[in-house]
Amino acid sequence: MPLSDDVAQITLDDLHQLVADGEQEGVRLELKGDKPTKERLERGICAFANTSGGHFVIGVKGDEHTNQAIEVCGVAADRGLPEQLAQWLKEIRPRVNPAQSPLIDVGNGKVACVFYQPPSTLAPHMVSDWRYYMRAGATNTPMPEEMVSRYYLARQVGDRAALDVLNRDISCDCVKFRRQVWPGRSSGQGLPPIC
């Protein structure tokens, strides 16, 4: 069962259902069993904004090999945690405003938190390391320069349809994506690792 875009309504039962359903990390879902670093949170939210949108779930552990949700483990309920996480995202440019759930008590002094970032009409977005990220499968990967240029052009002419096509293409399998972005390159030389 996918999570609601209205993260204020997400409950502990919804997180347990993610595990019961064996939901997998992918283009629209990222799971973090530990408190993410500033860089990981920035990259994840930025990648969702630049592609098809998605949920960044803190406090649900994913399997390293299958990417399936395996445990609602929570993270330490540090004082000021929601504010700290929100502050970290203020360095994304142009600014994003993901929905952030209230802390969800998972027991033993631990909490979970869910962010939902819809696809952005202001893409491409850049994080504090001056890179643009996109979601490719279950990973956040630097966006190729050609893709960044396409986004800026589409945004400049106000072509939402072009942005939708870019987002759809990114969501396709990696082979198809590579052929569309770099036509004529059969060896894959110079392509970023996106699978």
CA dist., res. 89 & res. 185, Å (int) = 36
162 Ramachandran zone, left/alpha/beta (phi>0; psi -120 to 50): alpha
How much is the pLDDT for 191? Answer: 43
**What CATH fold (topology level) applies to the domain 7-117?**
3.30.950
Radius of gyration of the chain (CA): 17
Q: Model confidence over 86-98: pLDDT tens digits? A: 999 999 999 999 9
pTM (global) more than 0.85: no
Q: Count other C-beta atoms under 10 Å from residue 193's C-beta.
A: 10
Q: Is 120 helix (H, G, I), strand (E, B) or coil?
A: coil
136, two tokens: 């490719």
Q: Model confidence over 97-155: pLDDT tens digits? A: 999 999 999 999 999 999 999 999 899 999 999 999 999 999 999 999 988 988 888 77
Residue ranges covered by each domain of the chain = 7-117, 144-181
Q: Model confidence over 5-27: pLDDT tens digits? A: 999 999 999 999 999 999 999 99
Q: Which of 9-13, 155-159, 169-173 shows the lowest mean pLDDT across its residues?
A: 169-173
101, two tokens: 């759930």
How much is the pLDDT for 173? Answer: 42
CA nearest to 115, candidates 85, 75, 84: 85
